[in-house]
Amino acid sequence: MRVLLILPQINSPCLWHPGLAYISAVLKENNHQAELFEMDDYDRQIGGLLGKIKEFSPGIIGISSNSHQFSHTKKIAQEIKKNYSLPVFAGGAHTTLRPEVIKEEKSFDGVIIGEGERAFLSLVNKIESKEDYSAVDNCWFRKGGQIIKNKLAPLIEDLNTLPFPDRSIFRYFYENKEKRTPRFIFSRGCPFECTYCCNHIFKKIYHNLGRYVRWRSVDSALREIELTREKYYFNYFKVDDDIFSLNKQWLLEFCGKFQEKFKDLTYECNVRPGAIDEEGLVNLKKSGCRLIKIGIETGNEDLRKKVLNRNFSNQDIIDTFSRAKKIGLKTFSFNMVGIPGETRETIRETMELNKIIKPAFMQVTVFYPYPNTALGEICSKNGYMERDFENSYMEKTILKLPTISKKEIEKAARDFKFNVYWSYDKKKALAEKKRRIKKFIIARPLLHFLAKFFKKFIKIK
């Protein structure tokens, strides 16, 4: 059967989506034909999507959505239903957090909760054979005015049984003929209980349904890297596992075998303070790791421990960065502003901590209250939420906090990197300022005439 997958990424571009990549691989392994439509601009591309549906003639449509993109997902489903009599199903993080959206949006024939590979394959098989699909696990359906809520199937215990994710459906891989930097994920689940993250909700949903934290075998991980490199040549890649450093035995085996197998490949990965020691860092460096990325989130220990439930100290962070630099690893810090309880002083503390650790790179995002998460529920109960969604978590807040203004939060997010870099790397600070000016002008077409005054620094495309 032909299956059309849709990925809304409006004002929030992503190079690939591991969930859809796995679903496509599973469908193709079972003799179905899958294609992907990536939507970056609803108004500009909705006509193209409708044309794609007519041309491709799918028997089923699946849309994956996070909370940022769900309002766009509903519009897409509504437009499809106006023009075609096709079954449309939504999946992804948002429907797992809030499956009750099936009650609110009639354009969805069903929603998928949790791991979607087997559930969506079962749906496709049953629709192709014209069987009743209303009992498929991991799904809620609308039928005859009623909502059918099916049970969750156990988690996929052995991740090695899954085919490798299908990257061929993404523009980044089939259009980009130049240098690519692919991303890999070798595990599922997370044992930690960070209040702002969805993982503690997913773990609760899957209670008693199998081991939540799972790793692919090291040999399987290396084989995926090898096959991906044969198809899309690269010399650098990113490991996106949140818990890459957590299983020391797995990590050391990976580093040892990677070093033997790939002499000319380098990579970056995530580590957590307290979850990696000097031996782990040394082995990462020897194996070809060049950059480690660490979630600081806030420089205020009370906010980090009591609000975010991330139980490590500023000294733990300083020590991890110090050891990494001593070994020769570059460092990257993840930071977040606009957390409930945030003040101008706590933001200053976050900047001061970064000035101490001096990361080579950093990311600054604005806290987003995901539905049903512990911190999301606090925001909802306290009336902090001014609106339901924002396209991304990079610069805008949807909260009205009693301790700091929206304007101050968003200004802090914009100016954070410049203010930190200026203390130890003025060249990087100036590059950040130029990037901000360019972004400001590009977002305002009437100001494009100013580009000529910055032509030595800015190119408007």
Give the torsion through C-alpha atoms of 292, 408, 445, 9, to 10 deg: 50
Residues 125 and 185 in one domain: no
**Residue whose structure tokens are 């300083």:** 318
Q: What is the pLDDT of residue 395?
A: 76
State how many domains the chain has.
Answer: 2
| Residue 273 near residue 317 (C-beta atoms within 8 A) | yes
Residues 142 and 193 in one domain: no
For residue range 281-326, list pLDDT tens digits in order.
999 999 999 999 999 999 999 999 999 999 999 999 999 999 999 9
Give the residue-averaged pLDDT of 196-215: 94
Nearest to 246, CA basis, from 230, 221, 222, 269: 269
Residue 209, in any domain of the structure: yes
Q: What is the CATH number of the domain that holds 228?
A: 3.20.20.70
Residue 438, in any domain of the structure: no
Residues 246 and 364 in one domain: yes
Residue type, 361: F
Q: What percent of the chain has pLDDT over 70?
A: 93
For residue range 219-232, list pLDDT tens digits in order.
999 999 999 999 99
pTM: 0.91
Residues 63 and 121 in one domain: yes
Residues 136 and 218 in one domain: no
Whether 396 has a pLDDT exceeding 90, the answer reads no
For residue range 11-38, list pLDDT tens digits in order.
877 889 999 999 999 999 999 999 999 9
Residue 207, in any domain of the structure: yes
Residue 429, in any domain of the structure: no
Give the residue-averaged pLDDT of 401-414: 94
Q: Is 274 exposed, middle or buried (0-12, 13-18, 19+ CB in 10 A)?
A: middle
Residue 159, in any domain of the structure: no
Residues 253 and 130 in one domain: no
Residues 126 and 42 in one domain: yes
Report which secondary-structure segment, H or E, holds 363.
strand 361-366
Whether 460 has a pLDDT exceeding 50, the answer reads no
Q: What percent of the chain has pLDDT over 90?
A: 81
What pLDDT band is residue 449 in, cutting at 50, 70 and 90?
low
Residue 67, in any domain of the structure: yes
- Interatomic CA distance for residues 252 and 461, integer angstroms: 45
Residues 265 and 320 in one domain: yes
Separation of CA 289 from chain center: 21
Q: What is the CATH number of the domain that holds 137?
A: 3.40.50.280
Whether 443 has a pLDDT exceeding 90, the answer reads no
Residues 390 and 331 in one domain: yes
Residues 231 and 111 in one domain: no
Residue 117, in any domain of the structure: yes
Residue 75, in any domain of the structure: yes
Whether 439 has a pLDDT exceeding 80, the answer reads no
Residues 143 and 208 in one domain: no
Residues 93 and 193 in one domain: no
**Residue whose structure tokens are 């794609």:** 52
Q: What range defines the domain where residue 324 resides? A: 179-424
| Sequence-ordered list of residues with C-beta below 8 angstroms from that of 390, at least 6 positions apart, any chain | 68, 368, 396, 397, 398
| Residue 434 near residue 458 (C-beta atoms within 8 A) | yes
What pLDDT band is residue 447 in, cutting at 50, 70 and 90?
low
